[in-house]
Structure 1
Amino acid sequence: MNSLPENIEIRNFEHGFDIYKESVDLRTRILLEPLGREDAASDYDFPEKDVYIGAFHGEKLVGTVILTPLDKHTVKMRQLAVDPAYRGRYIGLTLVDASEKAARTKGFRLMTLHARESAVAFYEKLDYRCLGERFLEIDIPHWEMEKEL
Structure 2
Amino acid sequence: MIFIHQIEAEETFSVRQPVLRPGKPVDSCHFDGDNLGTTAHFGLYEHDDLIGVVSVYKACHPLFSKKEQYQIRGMAVLPEFQRKGIGEQLVKKVEHYIKEQKGELIWFNAREKAVPFYQKLDYKIKGDSFEIKEIGTHFVMHKSI
Q: Give, in whole Å, the separation in 2 of the partners of 1:133 and 1:50.
A: 27
SS in 2 for 1:127: coil
Aligned to 2:137: 141
Aligned to 1:78: 73
Q: Give, in whole Å, the separation in 2 of the partners of 1:133 and 1:37.
A: 28
Partner AA of 1:121 in structure 2 = P
Deviations 1:48-98 (A, max 9, x none): 132001101122111000000015500000111001122222110000000
**Regions of 4+ moved over 6 Å:** none
Matches within 5 A, 1:1-149: 7-15=1-9, 20-21=10-11, 23-33=12-22, 36-38=23-25, 40-48=28-36, 49-71=38-60, 73-139=68-134, 140-149=136-145
Q: Give, in whole Å, the separation in 1 of the partners of 2:103 and 2:58.
A: 8
Partner AA of 1:46 in structure 2 = D
Partner AA of 2:98 in structure 1 = A
How many angstroms does 1:43 deviate by?
Answer: 4.1
Identity %: 28
Q: Give, in whole Å, the separation in 1 of the partners of 2:94 and 2:102.
A: 12
Q: Give, in whole Å, the separation in 1 of the partners of 2:31 and 2:123.
A: 26
How many angstroms does 1:45 deviate by?
Answer: 4.5
Q: Give, in whole Å, the separation in 2 of the partners of 1:31 and 1:84.
A: 11
Q: Give, in whole Å, the separation in 1 of the partners of 2:133 and 2:6.
A: 27
Q: Give, in whole Å, the separation in 2 of the partners of 1:88 and 1:124.
A: 15
Partner AA of 1:10 in structure 2 = I
CA-based RMSD: 1.6
SS in 2 for 1:108: coil
Gaps of 5+ in 2: 61-66
Q: Normalized against structure 2, the TM-score is what?
A: 0.86
Deviations 1:103-123 (A, max 9, x none): 000110100010000000111
Q: Normalized against structure 1, the TM-score is what?
A: 0.84
Q: Give, in whole Å, the separation in 2 of the partners of 1:28 and 1:62.
A: 12
Deviations 1:21-48 (A, max 9, x none): 3x11210111111xx5445211445211
